[in-house]
Amino acid sequence: MSAVGAPPSTGPERLPPADHERVASGVPPERNETDVERLDRNLIELLQEVRVVQTGVQVLFAFLLTVPFASGWKKTTELQQDVYVCAVVTAAVAAVFMIAPSSYHRLLFRQPHKEHMLFTSNKLLMIGMVFLAISICLCVFLVVDYVISIPWALGLTVGIALLIVVLWYAMPLNRRHEVWPPPKD
């Protein structure tokens, strides 16, 4: 038993024997939950994340749909129009992938497929995030090219792309391997 205010021990040597297997399978010792409770919690977390990113991609998509109707559209170059079409298509694909987990959940509601639904929805969201990143970069390129120039558009787009790669992928993946190293054979 630890002293009042002291952090709980998470070392495997202090865990009850039954918890060694849970820690080895990736369940943190501080969580006292069954597999069903873990799946429920993970699904709730995933659906909350869907709500956040769905709003962003829907706003981006809605904005893109209005662009050709603006008065300055006639001044766009062929390159800008091509970039615009690619931005719209990638935003639409991102929206489809990011809305899919909600549809998946609704159609499999109260069915015994929660773990499959969770892993599939996670993959769909990750794919959607890739298309969202592409659409964001294309939008930056389009706006900066229209307002300033192609060299500025290329530079700022590369900067935004690097920022996305670092914050959305590199940092979490780096930390993931620190916290939960893959099991050794």
Q: How far apart are the first and last CA of the chain?
A: 34
Task: Tell me whether residue 146 is in a domain.
Answer: yes
Give the number of domains in the chain: 1
Q: Establish if 23 belongs to a structural domain.
A: no
Does some domain include residue 60? yes
Q: 130 and 96 in contact (C-beta within 8 Å)? A: no
The string of pLDDT tens digits covering residues 102-143 is: 778 777 777 777 777 788 888 998 999 999 999 999 999 999
Contact at 8 Å (CB) between 50 and 98?
yes
As given in the structure block, the two tokens for residue 89 are 């298509």
Does a structural domain hold residue 118? yes
Q: Tell me whether residue 141 is in a domain.
A: yes
Give the pLDDT score at 171: 86
Q: What is the pLDDT of residue 39?
A: 75
For residue range 42-98, list pLDDT tens digits in order. 777 877 777 777 777 778 888 887 787 777 788 889 999 999 999 999 999 999 998
pLDDT at 7 over 90: no
Give residue 184's pLDDT. 63
How far apart are the C-alpha atoms of 66 and 61, rounded to whole Å? 9
Average pLDDT over residues 157-171: 92
Q: pTM of this prediction?
A: 0.71
Can you say how many angstroms the Cα of residue 15 is from the centroid of all Cα atoms in its chain?
34
Note the residue count of the chain. Answer: 185
Residue 25 lies in a domain: no
Calculate the alpha carbon distances from 60 to 126, 127, 155, 183 in Å.
18, 17, 22, 40
Alpha helix stretches (DSSP H) within the chain: 17-24, 35-66, 78-107, 114-147, 150-164, 171-179
Domain that holds residue 83: 41-179
Rounded distance between C-alpha atoms, residue 60 and residue 91, angstroms: 7
CA-based R_g, the chain, Å: 22
The pLDDT > 70 percentage for the chain reads 78
